[in-house]
Amino acid sequence: MVRMTMRLSKYTSRSLVAATVAGMALLAGCGGPDKPVGTVGHVKGFAGVVAADEPNAALAARDTLSAGGSVADAAVALYFTLAVTLPSTATLGAGGSCVIHDKTSKTTEVLDFPASVSSGRMPVGLPMAARGFYALHAKYGKLQWEGLLQRGEKLARFGLPLPRALALDLARGASLLSQDPLSRRVFFRRDGRVVAEGDTIEQLDLAAVLTRMKRNLGDFYTGQQARDLTAAARGLGATVAIEDFLSALPQFRPTATVKVGQNMVHFPSTPAQGGEPAKVMVELQALSAEDLAKVPATAVAKPSDGPRPPAPGTAFAIIDADGSAVACGLSANGLFGAGRMVPGTGLFIAAPPAPGGSPVVPVVVVNPNVNEVRLAGAAAGGVDPARVMAAAVLAATAGERPLEEVVAMQYAAGADAKAGPGNARVAAVACTSGSPSIGRCRAAADPRGHGYAVVVGKD
């Protein structure tokens, strides 16, 4: 019995040594074991491109693409981080729209989730963004929903060094926010001054909401959380009923299209857009390249020139390794929405939409002959986002300018953010013909903002 044990031990030992040596050889030859889907670094080569108005959010999308997520997964991770890092325009109380191209099904469509107006005598915008991105994930997502909200939840709970983009918005909105006790508690120092870039802020109520959204988003719209939210909103003087939440649903719709050369440009086709982006595109196609370069300058208007410009907004665009794309714009119809934080939620309630068209215009440009995305981008806020986005698309598809120069066109034309709202800002990603790769794809964020654009992975 003892001998058998000894023989077995020797055999087992030799087997373990052999297996270890073989494993080390395998690791040396292959550079390490494959990382599972959902782990950053799962994608070995090119993983996609991202452009957004805030760096933390762009990095959330970058890591999601690197982990093998789809373009929808990356958009969800980006948005729920943005809700924490740029609540001035992307608060959970916001709404928006996206244009999505799915490479597999060869379809391009609009997902509309506006901060539609509630019923009653003192209406406000309903919080639709979370529901919109849930719908996007349900149709096109691959990774687990819960994991996509983790970065935003952690930043809200454990503290966030104030990003520059949010610091500037807080400086502009300080007078309004100082009138709201809940906003003062989060965004003001003890000495009464608004927090500045680099200061650490915690958003514990928002973190708690995100935690519940990870487990059950439906409760935010139809359950106890929805009832608590409507009661809190009524306490602020807003008129919101649970029926408003039940009837406000995201909608997938066909796009409006305009053909430009071999490419098809896809715009939102919803009544909120008024058909304006497509009409502007047709109008601008008749211009020469020289005149086209002047279009952003003509879009800049003084307050006395007409109706006030659309509300502030934020934009982002993503292309993944498969060649699917999404472009999204978000707005709360005012800087920090209506300027009031809903008790117990950490979200800013949206203001009613202002006249003058949508403050966000997302666009995806596809070559239908080869089923390839050429460009995805969005213009948000400022003056005339439809005209600015149409001009950027035409300049980019002409192939005569790098994407970074096209996105900077608004800046070069003299739109100074310090002097007023200026032109809408653009975030865009683009790929040339062929399979998406580092050599073929670019990303650019508007130089007037403080966002981030990144190519993900390596060849």
Could you read off the pLDDT of 158-191 as tens digits, one per residue? 999 999 999 999 999 999 999 999 999 999 999 9
Check if the beta carbon of residue 115 is closer than 8 Å to that of residue 379: no
The dihedral region occupied by 324, where left means phi > 0, alpha psi between -120 and 50, and beta the remainder, is: beta
pLDDT digit string (tens) for 38-57? 899 999 999 999 999 999 99
Within-domain flag for 25:
no
Compute φ and ψ for 63, nearest 5 degrees: -65, -35
Q: What range defines the domain where residue 271 resides?
A: 48-457
Within-domain flag for 292:
yes
Counted domains in the chain: 1
Mean pLDDT calculated for residue range 68-78: 98
Beta-carbon contacts of residue 338 (< 8 Å; ≥ 6 apart):
124, 125, 238, 332, 348, 349, 350, 351
Count of other CB atoms within 10 angstroms of residue 101: 26
Within-domain flag for 255:
yes
Q: Is the pLDDT of residue 72 over 90?
A: yes
Within-domain flag for 433:
yes
* Distance from C-alpha of 360 to C-alpha of 308, rounded to nearest angstrom: 15
DSSP state of 233: H
Within-domain flag for 370:
yes
DSSP-assigned beta bridge partners for residue 379: 361, 426
Mean pLDDT calculated for residue range 116-137: 84
Within-domain flag for 10:
no
Within-domain flag for 101:
yes
Burial label, 420 (beta-carbon count in 10 A; 0-12, 13-18, 19+): middle
Within-domain flag for 172:
yes
**What does the pLDDT read at residue 449?**
87
Provide the mean pLDDT of the chain. Answer: 84
